[in-house]
Amino acid sequence: MTNATINPGATIGVLGSGQLGRMFAIAARRMGYRVHTFSPSSDTPTGQVADVEIEASYDDLEAVRDFAQAVSVVTFEFENVPSATVETAAQFTFVRPAGSVLHTTQNRLREKTFLSDHGFPVTPFKAIHSLAELRSTLAEFGYPAILKTAGFGYDGKGQSRVKSPDDLEEIWRPYAEQEMILEAFVDFECELSVVAARGLDGAFTHWGAIENTHRNHILDVSIAPAALPPEISREAVEITRAVLDQLDVVGVLCVEFFLTRGGKLLINELAPRPHNSGHLTFDACVTSQFEQQLRAVCGMPLGSTELLRPAAMANLLGDLWEKGEPNWAAACAFPDVKLHLYGKMAAKPGRKMGHLTAMAETANEAAHLVRAAREALCAPVD
Ligand code: AMP
């Protein structure tokens, strides 16, 4: 394997098959690359637009070997892939970002320990192995605090807010067999993220600070540019740059931050791949996070991340289908709003089915517009 540029016409392998892989595949196919996707499912959001969809377990290392041998580079759209899968793929082709990045970021304890060991600002946290440890750490952190599973957590899954010393046993019971982490509760002013990319040559690009609001622990609306003092945005970008350098990332990585009421930035989480808060880059930027991931993992020069117009993104969750098919025409009646659907068949509550991106003169207007368009989806169909 040589580190030569991987040119259009080559085939890129994607581990995982959700919406991130779908948008990656759209960007890759637009530039003349082929895409193979690997996951345990079929007719997936990525598979529907990829050249080849491989349905196999991540533990089927023979299938992983065949997949890796057929592609020029493997990347991810899902970080909870077992280490053995990544190690097997790496024997046969390039894996970018490297398995070590995945290993660090797929477990909250490893991630937070890595960050604090390298001097990055994080929420106070502690590993918890027993009810007694939970009690003593709560005495230190105070109430409320957030108890999270160390592995396989996303969108608020596997986490509980601990509000008082009552009911501790009940809260602890379902988690007793798992590796847990307790975090002090952050009384934040706002949440923001910086999505960034690092090339094979160490080049760094970013899309600036994006402001995020969550509903039920799931991202609801993202706005760019974030309405933050410029020095806060600059600091968030500099922290992000240092994280990508420290992890030696080749690809895209998102850093999610809390901005405390005291004006301090704390890292909440890292995602070693394109991120939901960066979806607006697909329509609103010269180069999207998905195209940049492609360029980075192919050893290509990175593209401009310039924001063409202020933008806002609103997620479309399965709850929208509760009263039947949403009124697509009503949302499409907003000419500055773009509709993205991920091709998922079953609309379950909380499931990310698609998103809308609005562009306007200001980020505030874009946020207003994207919310109005989402509301319109609930209007009765004529
Ligand atoms: P996570 O899965 O860790 O990204 O958490 C999802 C959301 O829960 C975050 O975006 C916050 O809105 C909230 N959250 C998580 N951890 C904390 C914390 N330590 N303090 C306050 N809110 C939190």
At 155, the amino acid letter reads: D
Q: 268 in ligand 1 pocket by Cβ < 6 Å?
A: yes
Alpha carbon of 45 to ligand 1 centroid (Å):
27
Alpha carbon of 256 to ligand 1 centroid (Å):
10
- Looking at ligand 1, which residue's alpha carbon is closest to its atom 1? 156
pLDDT at position 339, please?
98
Alpha carbon of 217 to ligand 1 centroid (Å):
7
Q: 161 in ligand 1 pocket by Cβ < 6 Å?
A: no
- Looking at ligand 1, which residue's alpha carbon is closest to its atom 14? 217
Q: 193 in ligand 1 pocket by Cβ < 6 Å?
A: no
Q: 146 in ligand 1 pocket by Cβ < 6 Å?
A: yes
pLDDT at position 156, please?
64
Q: 111 in ligand 1 pocket by Cβ < 6 Å?
A: no
pLDDT tens string, the chain, 382 residues long: the values are 777 899 999 999 999 999 999 999 999 999 999 999 999 999 999 999 999 999 999 999 999 999 999 999 999 999 899 999 999 999 999 999 999 999 999 999 999 999 999 999 999 999 999 999 999 999 999 999 999 999 876 666 788 999 999 889 999 999 988 899 999 999 999 999 999 999 999 999 999 999 999 999 999 999 999 999 999 999 999 999 999 999 999 999 999 999 999 999 999 999 999 999 999 999 999 999 999 999 999 999 999 999 999 999 999 999 999 999 999 999 999 999 999 999 999 999 999 999 999 999 999 999 999 999 999 999 888 7
Q: Which atom of ligand 1 is nearest to the CA of 214?
A: 12
Q: 217 in ligand 1 pocket by Cβ < 6 Å?
A: yes
Q: 53 in ligand 1 pocket by Cβ < 6 Å?
A: no
Q: Which atom of ligand 1 is nearest to the CA of 145?
A: 19
Q: 211 in ligand 1 pocket by Cβ < 6 Å?
A: no
Q: 153 in ligand 1 pocket by Cβ < 6 Å?
A: yes
78 forms bridges with which residues in the sheet? none
Q: 81 in ligand 1 pocket by Cβ < 6 Å?
A: no
Q: 269 in ligand 1 pocket by Cβ < 6 Å?
A: yes
- Looking at ligand 1, which residue's alpha carbon is closest to its atom 13? 217
Domains and CATH numbers, the chain: 11-95 (3.40.50.20), 124-184 (3.30.1490.20), 188-376 (3.30.470.20)
SS (H, E, C) the chain: CCCCCCCCCCEEEEECCCHHHHHHHHHHHHCCCEEEEEECCCCCCCCCCCCEEEECCCCCHHHHHHHHHCCCEEEECCCCCCHHHHHHHHHHCEECCCHHHHHHHCEHHHHHHHHHHCCCCECCEEEECCHHHHHHHHHHHCCCEEEEECECCCCCCCEEEECCCCCHHHHHHHHCCCCEEEEECCCEEEEEEEEEEECCCCCEEEEEEEEEEEECCEEEEEEECCCCCHHHHHHHHHHHHHHHHHHCCCEEEEEEEEEECCCCEEEEEEECCCCHHHCCHHHHECCCHHHHHHHHHCCCCCCCCCECCCEEEEEEEHHHHCCCCCCHHHHHCCCCEEEEECCCCCCCCCCEEEEEEEECCCHHHHHHHHHHHHHHCCCCCC
- Looking at ligand 1, which residue's alpha carbon is closest to its atom 5? 156
- Indicate the pTM of the whole model: 0.96
Q: Which atom of ligand 1 is nearest to the CA of 146?
A: 19
The pairing of beta strand 73-76 with beta strand 94-95: parallel
Q: 47 in ligand 1 pocket by Cβ < 6 Å?
A: no
